[in-house]
Structure 1
Amino acid sequence: MKNITGLPEELGIEEALEKEEAKIRVYIETRRFGKPTTIIEGITKDVKTILKELRRKLACGGTFKDNHIELQGDHRKRIKEVLVSLGFKEEQIEIL
């Protein structure tokens, strides 16, 4: 990505700006045998680290596929507080 701030990349300002701009959608899909899967769309940077933290904090399995995060189970009740603790703003998160 092009440096739009003019500041050194080592400061991490670009990542913070991208986190602030991201719109995150959280919804449930029912998979085989009626098992719910929580789908998170809109996270583009540092996905592996965020996924690892989500799996640890929500005590579930998960993966990154097709530009979205999939978590095993229905985590709509706790996902907002976990994403806020990871640095996303509450206004950015839309739970369907």
Structure 2
Amino acid sequence: MRDQLSNLVFSTEKGALCPGCKEALDQCRCDQLADQQRLDSLDGVIRIRRETSGRKGKGVTTITGVPLADKALKDMAKKLKQQCGTGGSLKDGVIEIQGDHREKLKQLLEKQGYQVKLAGG
């Protein structure tokens, strides 16, 4: 019985380890590792598409494949939303801009030197 109780599951001490990277919680690198893994999987082409599924018929323009780290990706999303004059969000490395702004976004990204494709219908 004593052995079963001695297995530590959770600790609030500073010495607690992250379950993902096994580092101390204040030195956890899980976000960096996930971001690096996302960047490594990209092929260098940014894809822009219009989607309505799961949004009650409201269309959004999604931008995937941007080869930027998380902080720079957030800054880019903010600038693109301002350029389009609309709202949007950043979810799992995908920039979502409200409305259909494919052509405008393609021009903006090509000016920045990215290779861009319009994907989907």
State the TM-score bracket (shorter-chain normalisation). Answer: 0.5 to 0.7
Match of 1:27 among 49, 67, 78: 49
Match of 2:65 among 42, 46, 50: 42
Between Structure 1 and Structure 2, how many residues are aligned?
73
Shift >4 Å, 4+ stretches: none
> In structure 1, the residue corresponding to 2:51 is in which secondary structure?
strand
Q: Verify: 1:53 aligned to 2:79, yes or no.
A: yes
How far apart are 1:22 and its partner, in Å?
A: 2.5
Q: Which range is displaced more, 54-63 or 30-39? A: 30-39
How far apart are 1:67 and its partner, in Å?
A: 1.6
How far apart are 1:26 and its partner, in Å?
A: 0.6
Match of 1:74 among 93, 96, 100: 100
Cα separation, 2, equivalents of 1:88 and 1:52? 18
Q: State percent identity of aligned pairs.
A: 37
Q: Which has the higher strand share?
A: 1
Q: Verify: 1:93 aligned to 2:116, yes or no.
A: yes
Q: Which range is displaced more, 63-72 or 21-30? A: 21-30
Q: Which has the higher helix share?
A: 1
Normalised TM-score (structure 1): 0.68
How far apart are 1:49 and its partner, in Å?
A: 1.3
> In structure 2, the residue corresponding to 1:71 is in which secondary structure?
strand
Query: Are the equivalent residues in 2 in contact too, given 1:25–1:94 (CA < 8 A)?
Result: yes
CA-based RMSD:
1.6
How far apart are 1:52 and its partner, in Å?
A: 1.1
How far apart are 1:65 and its partner, in Å?
A: 0.4
Cα separation, 2, equivalents of 1:38 and 1:56? 14
| Larger relative contact order (Cα-Cα within 8 Å, sequence gap ≥ 6) | 1
Normalised TM-score (structure 2): 0.55
Q: Verify: 1:65 aligned to 2:87, yes or no.
A: no
